[in-house]
Structure 1
């Protein structure tokens, strides 16, 4: 095959040689600059020889260069070219996929099975457009490119007749369609290095009938089915990335010029584009609709976003009459739903359940453990693996779900969820939402059991958070809803997501007070959790008020010697401890410890917790011998009850290590910290908050030992984890910045320390009260830095 320079490449080279911009050239020949851009990209060609000659004149080309340009315009594509679509000038992204297609089906492969590739995915995900882009981009690599509409038998036959006509085969006029198909197959057998594209395959068996017996070319298929056989390697198309979606939206809507960068946008425009792409979840068809609507109506992105949030379904049903895709997002999905409903009712019910859950990582176990809450059809399917797999096969044939066999989870696109819910009336929606809330509540563990059910809590947390929205949207008032909100809030506190936890716990408070009365223990538990958030945020006065309210309710309803009463007393002790009010804290700890011993016994983990807190208190008071005795008692109880590799064991070891650190027993401290690190990595993985805490503690130890290189490395790792897990404006992130800055301060690397201290203080001013110990400590070290810089400046002046 000849690999000649395309018209677009030649034009671009000649233009740049003359140092003429696209805009200037467009102005000279009287066209829009997008036309020049399209010619150079290869989307289309000038429509006349006269236009090519005018290009040559305006580019000051000599006769030879003008002749080259003319020839390139006449031979830009293969003479055997049948692609019923122009190139999409707004196509962006999919670079990896396009390169994979080429790698899979290129004629250079010796392995014949490498010559088949299938693009699969949800309707509107961009399968056809990706195939079109591939065909145009690599047209010069093939002797012929043919496009076949593979949706139905009649469409395939029609495409075969068109190919026969394009090839000018003698059989092109035959009334016997079998003869026409045979003639096309005969041509394919006797030629090499062609590309055959079967678009929108519904029935792979039907397509197989039309494949030539000897295959010396390449095949590209598109289908909603996630598996079509036909010897093809499948590439599943994902939604566009945020950046790809933004570029497509902004260029398609004419807000951003074709060659312009996203950096040319204002911060507000960037944010609005990000919000639209995120709301649409990167679905290309929906982005195309959004851009077409913005362009046609000249509305702003802010106006569109507001419309999408208030009239989502109506917008998704809008379709530009000039669009490449024949149907709107809504009609595309509704058609798939209707077809699925006729084929498998269990599949539809499964899809509806998924429509009310968080879209990602939906556990199959959620269905298995709640079969009693489902309808008889879906119940039967879940009980019988064969029936379940049959239902899944039907769903996957439309790519309405993604199934991840390694994790036994599903994924569903957000817009599929939206449109599926839209097909129901309000009562049906509320009924399904209530059922899903009950299902998630059944599998979501109590926070008291968190240590043994941590992984399960993480698995279902996103769905529990989604249920909080369902409860609010559909006004679900039930004890199950209240319990799920409460446990979700408790887990979010444990993960340091305080703002989200507080919102959900306030929802829970309203429900429990409404259903059980304002003096019920559940209300007190809620007050206790919300007080915990205030304490962790350094809002000590508010925390104290809430703790005392909770304590009063619990003592009145449960009595003075109850575990929950002891827990609240313990929390009040912690509150005073963190304010350095040690004399106030100690009696609360002792009171809690006495109750735990009476109710739970001497060797209970609650007793260990109280002993641990007292040890922390004695450590702060420099009563190291007393503290060590209590830490050792704590460790003995925890290891006896929970084992040597438990999270609470790690906590006890961590606190004992801190005690050794304060006494300059560095070798003992290091050994314990490394053991803690091993435990947390085994339980939670490499990137976890507890891992980051231990790394930070090790870094502080190495700083004390003047092992600055090791310390810096660990501080940086801890900081990156917290940025990733907690975000840039979290108290623990600020603490990491402050600790790293302190390391540089100790080494007199003031230039590195200064911006880190300023960043830490900026965060702490937003999220911590003015008298919070962490904020005070950072400010004190910052003042030391400023004084040191001032002193150094004076020295240089002298």
Structure 2
């Protein structure tokens, strides 16, 4: 059964640049210590943490190391985990524990299985690599950091600068934009591989400097140049014109890290071109929808749902958009480098870089409420049997629901709470993630009370689910007290024979 791969590293970008200086520093650190592969320069073994702003290529560099390890078949267990939330880390670890045959991991309790994996990593003679991609809250995930062992190592990426990430055998390596030489090498290789070397001219260095040597912006630029047959000088003129246009769309203070503005300009240029291509008029609303989802990816089956095709149909004249046309829009956006579509990765087939998504949300001009509700409707339609059909699919749906809710703010609470918000919470309970479920339902209860009022049925339902999460977590007394309040409210508001009242009474039996 060995080697074992759990999770899916993102595909390496076309003309991927291995960032020789960064790669060499990581390799040197790995070779320096004896107890893990990645090591701190002082000789203490530890974890490598790649930090940097959006669009600089942290995940790509981590994916390169992971794929090198996989291709060499030199490591028994490789685990790639989206580390934006504890829920996803626990679920990823639990899958790894079951797949690797860790003693005591039976797939029934994700938290227990994840803990069993960490215990196994402490003692196993097997070699392993764990990649924690895009750590979102170092304090929350601290307990899930893998141990320091001679046969294993951990590589993490994050956009944060946080003291929690350093020390304790963790060495921080800052990842910045390309060097000028790397930028020119990337653009030259990308255009040459696409049989477009004739587009390279004397303005190549000026072009790369104009976009700030940012890998993501260069990827947008290269895709546009290839598809539009624009040489460096012509693209540079387009870029400068687009920068003037951006001033009307994005406030000057909207980009605190200075990376978003080059991406926003390259995005607008590529999006204008894609929107003119067939199927015409659909690229912009499609990317606006995709930008609401988890950057780590969402299922491409979502694009065949009635919610998506109906949403796209409202943005152009003519017959309704079909599922096949929606898929063609995905491929169009992929061709222009605005998203990545990898059909073989069912649960995470469509990925939009976080910085591209942010620029899209800030410049789209579309009704945010309409987009948010369409995105929520599509997830809900895809979720019918998601929890039972596939753990990776259920995990991806939960992650996408969480990201969408964060972006939407209060938009999914009007006129009532969108059913997706409840479906996501029930999925946590179904998965046995009781600690995360308690946090989720406590938040939902506060939100519902604030936006809908204490006696709204959705608020009472949120409190009932919070009671269920307390019960699942073993907090029986808290669960009973809250269930008694829920029953009293439902008796008063709905009457003795209402199904919700009967359900509340059964929960107390």
TM-score after normalising by structure 2: 0.46
Larger-Rg structure: 1
Bigger fraction of residues in helix: 1
TM-score after normalising by structure 1: 0.31
Task: Kindly indicate whether structure 1 or structure 2 has the higher relative contact order, using CA contacts under 8 Å at least 6 residues apart.
Answer: 2
